[in-house]
Amino acid sequence: MLCRTPLHSWLVLLLVGANLHTVPAFAVEESPKWFVLRRSEIANCWTALLVRVDGAYRHDSAQIAGGPYDTEAAAQARETELVRTGTCDKS
C-alpha cells in the first residue's frame, strides 16, 4: 500500500492529468467550420472540421472543395453534389 509520499502525489496528479482533455488554444479562439476536402491525385472527397490558423483555414495534403459551412450536414450536401457531378469520388 502506498503511503502519502511525493511519489504517491505525483502518481495521483499523473492519473488525473491523463483524464483531462485539452483543446489547443487556437481552437478555442477561432470557430471551427466544416469543409469538403479533395485530393487532386485520386479525386476522393470527404468532410472535415477545420480551424482558422494565422487567419486562414488550411489542410496540409488536400484542396478545399467547398466551405466553410456551419454544419456537417451542409458540408455533406456539397460533397454529395460533387460526387453527383463527377468532380469527386466518395471516399
Q: What is the pLDDT along the chain (91 residues), one digit of tens a residue?
A: 445 676 656 555 444 454 544 545 544 456 899 999 998 888 899 999 999 888 899 888 899 999 999 999 999 999 999 999 999 987 5
Q: In 30-71, which residue ranges form alpha helices assigned H by DSSP?
A: none
Is the residue at 7 inside a domain?
no
CA distance 71 to 81: 16
pLDDT recorded at residue 24? 56
**Domains in the chain, number:** 1
Asked if 51 and 27 touch (Cβ cutoff 8 Å), the reply is yes
**What cell numbers appear for 45 in the block?**
472527397
Is the residue at 72 inside a domain?
yes
CA distances from 12 to 1, 61, 77 (A): 14, 40, 47
What range does the domain containing 42 cover? 23-90
pLDDT recorded at residue 83? 94
Is the residue at 18 inside a domain?
no
